[in-house]
Amino acid sequence: MTTAPAHITVLLEEAVAALRVRPDGTYVDCTYGRGGHSRLLLSQLGPAGRLIAFDRDPQAIANAATINDPRFTAVHAPFSELNERLSALGLSKVDGVLMDLGVSSPQIDEAERGFSFRFDAPLDMRMDTTRGMTAAEWLATATREHIAEVIKDYGEERFAGKVATAIVAARGEHPIATTRQLAQIVAKAVRTREPGQDPATRTFQAIRIFINRELEELALTLPVAFDWLATGGRLSVISFHSLEDRIVKRFMADAAEADKLPKKLPVRAADIAQPRLNVIGKPVRPSAAEVSANPRSRSAILRVAERTGAA
C-alpha cells in the first residue's frame, strides 16, 4: 500500500468561521475527510454542543474513530442520507452544515484507490469501497454512447467521442483493469491538451464523478440540508470545479429569491413571501499563501448562505 501525504484541509478557518459557531449548537460536517473542519468545529463547541460528521469512505470513518469525544458522532454514509440519519439520531434542527466537496488527498495519493493516473493500480474510483460498481466494471459494459456522454458532461472533454471509441475498441482486445491502461488509451485519443494538463485528466474526473454520483448527491442534498437548518443557521459549501459550483450557486440564488409577482400588482411588500435564504457575502477563494502551500486548493470556492425565518 502506498503512503499518502498528510491531507491539508482547504479554506479551514474561512469555512468554519462562516458558520458563526455557537458553543451550544448542533452542527453537521457532511464530508469528514480527515477531520480538519470537524476538529476545528469541535474546538469551538462547549459541553452542550454537538457535531455529526458524515463520510462514505471507510478510511475516513476509521480516522473519525480516533476522535474520542462524547459531543462527536461519525456516520458512515453518503450525505444524501442526511435526512434519515439525522432523524435516527433524534435531531429536529441543526445550527449549521458544512460541505467540503471533491476528493481528499489520501484518495488521490493512495494508488490502491484507483483515482489517479499517476500510479498503475486497479481501476476502482469508488469513494465507498464497500459497495457499488468500480470504474473498471462500468467501462467493461457501458455503451460507447454512454461513455461519451459521461466524459463530455462530467469532464467537459471536447474529445469525448474519440475517447469513448478508443475505450470500446481497446476493451474488445483485453479488459481495461488498471489506471495506466486507461490513461494510455486516452492519451492516444486526445492529441492536444492545455499546457500542464495530462490528456487523461478530464476523463478520469468524469468517470470518478459518474461512479460516485457526485453531482446527483450534491443536488439532492442541498435542499435537504437547507430544510434541516434552524432560523439563522448557515450552510457553508466548498466546491472544486465548475460543475459543482454551478449547482451550489444556482441553489443558493434560487432560494434567496422572493416570490416573483407580475409588475404593478397591488400587493403590499409586507404581504409578499420573503426569501427563505440569504446569501452571505461574496464567494471566498484561497489566499495566494494557501495556494502556494497547497496547490490543490487553487480551484476551491466557498459559498455561504443563512436560513431566514421565512417558511
Helices (H) and strands (E) in the chain, counts: 13, 7
Could you give the C-alpha distances from 175 to 33, 162, 178, in angstroms and in order? Answer: 32, 18, 9
Work out whether strand 50-55 and strand 72-76 pair parallel, antiparallel, or are unpaired.
parallel
The alpha helices in the chain, defined as continuous H runs, are 12-17, 36-44, 58-64, 82-88, 105-109, 135-141, 144-155, 160-171, 179-189, 201-211, 214-228, 242-255, 288-293
36 is in an annotated binding site: yes
DSSP secondary structure letter of residue 264: T
55 is in an annotated binding site: yes
107 is in an annotated binding site: yes
Residue 22 has phi, psi (to 5 degrees) of: -95, 135
69 is in an annotated binding site: no
233 is in an annotated binding site: no
Binding residues: 35-37, 55, 79, 100, 107
Which residues are annotated as part of the binding site for S-adenosyl-L-methionine? Answer: 35-37, 55, 79, 100, 107
